[in-house]
Amino acid sequence: MSTTPRRFPTLLVALIGVAVIALAVFFARGPRAPAPDPVPSEGAAAAPAPGAGRTIAHAQGSTVVAEHPKQVVVFDLAALDTLDALGVDVQGVAGEYFPGQLAKYADAKKYPRYGTLFEPDYEALHAARPDLVITGGRSSARYTKLAAMVPTIDQTTDDAHFVDTVVGNTQRLATVFGKEEQARTLVEALKQSIATLKGTTASRGKGLIVLTSGGRMSAYGPGSRFGVLHDTFGIPPAAPSLKASLHGEAVGSEFILETNPDWLFVIDRDAAIGEGGGAQRLLDNELVHQTTAWKQGQVVYLEPANTYLIGGGIQSLRRLMEQISDVYAKPRQPSAP
């Protein structure tokens, strides 16, 4: 005779007891809050859902970007300058200094900060989850880590092909945000202005570009960071053998006198970053006074923030070109004795 009918009630009672104890423990602890998503580590891929974006090639590779992204955080002043020209608004920015045409981004309530150009606030970005992050220049070294968190494109310019890069960067942003017509208008106007300027500069003498900072000077030639004045604007170089380095070649007033430029273009870095500025005092000496540029009143102090900080934006390039066009349009001054 089977014994099953006698054991079944005992087993059932035991199972019910275990279930009651488990429920009691669960309700005593309460439901657990969902764990926050971890900040992705470097190397983890970040991209929109499949089929929700398009692949955009940029300075550091290619990225799948959402169609017409709405939430955009920008870590590059040149990119911000170009977005502003295209009429694209942004969700947030980096840093605290927004000179010239970028002054409206100083409003931190409207444009929240996500760290600095050199050190993004990764936690804040992770919480905000923007559709797109844009790096370039000073922030380009952070591209890899940012790209692991959110879709990121890099807008770094190539000094050896500066204008081509600026045009390409403008067209890339126009593609991302559906602003192709605005980009065409900006680029056509830029190219026309460059052609006009080149027709003026070639026959007006040689130029030298110097950057001043903390009482020191460095000179830049063709193919360099500021070489667009020679390479594209057509100003013949007074020192064509200067190395095309990021920081230029250290020089003194003796070099300026030996080179004897017809035009001396000056970028005051201290003034650009809001630390006063001493370029005029540095250059006001007996050696520089003997140059053709000084005697003919052709020492040109380029708009510092626009040239040093924002250079690479399409508005910035246009402003630089307009400043040089204006000084070349002025009547020549008689040479000082």
Residue 337: what pLDDT? 55
Domain boundary (100, 123, 156) is at: 156
Judge whether 302 and 264 are in contact, CB under 8 Å: no
Judge whether 207 and 235 are in contact, CB under 8 Å: yes
Residue 15: what pLDDT? 54
Q: Assess if residue 73 is contained within a domain.
A: yes
Residue 49: what pLDDT? 55
Judgement on whether residues 128 and 232 belong to the same structural domain of the protein = no
Domain boundary (92, 126, 156) is at: 156
Residue 71: what pLDDT? 96
Domain boundary (156, 186, 212) is at: 156
Q: Assess if residue 183 is contained within a domain.
A: no
Whole-number Å distance between alpha carbons of 102 and 142: 22
Whole-number Å distance between alpha carbons of 138 and 193: 28
* pLDDT tens for the 337 residues of the chain, in order: 333 444 445 555 555 555 544 444 443 343 333 333 444 444 444 555 555 789 999 999 999 999 989 999 999 999 999 999 999 999 999 999 999 999 999 999 999 999 999 999 999 999 999 999 999 999 999 999 999 999 999 999 999 899 999 999 999 999 999 999 999 999 999 999 999 999 999 999 999 999 999 999 999 999 999 999 999 999 999 999 998 877 899 999 999 999 999 999 999 999 999 888 799 999 999 999 999 999 999 999 999 999 999 999 999 999 999 999 999 998 766 555 5
- CA triple 148-152-156, angle to 5 deg: 120
Range of the structural domain that residue 223 is part of: 204-329
Residue 176: what pLDDT? 97
Judgement on whether residues 123 and 240 belong to the same structural domain of the protein = no
pTM: 0.82
User: Total domain count for the chain?
Assistant: 2
Give me the half-sphere count of Cα atoms (radius 13 Å) on the Cβ side of residue 237: 21
Q: Assess if residue 123 is contained within a domain.
A: yes
CATH number, domain of 115, equals: 3.40.50.1980
Q: Assess if residue 138 is contained within a domain.
A: yes
Judge whether 77 and 313 are in contact, CB under 8 Å: yes
Q: How far apart are the first and last CA of the chain?
A: 132
Strands (E), 149-298: 152-154, 207-213, 216-220, 249-251, 263-268
Q: Assess if residue 270 is contained within a domain.
A: yes
Q: Assess if residue 336 is contained within a domain.
A: no
Residue 26: what pLDDT? 40
Helix 162-177 vs helix 77-86: crossing angle, to nearest 10 = 60
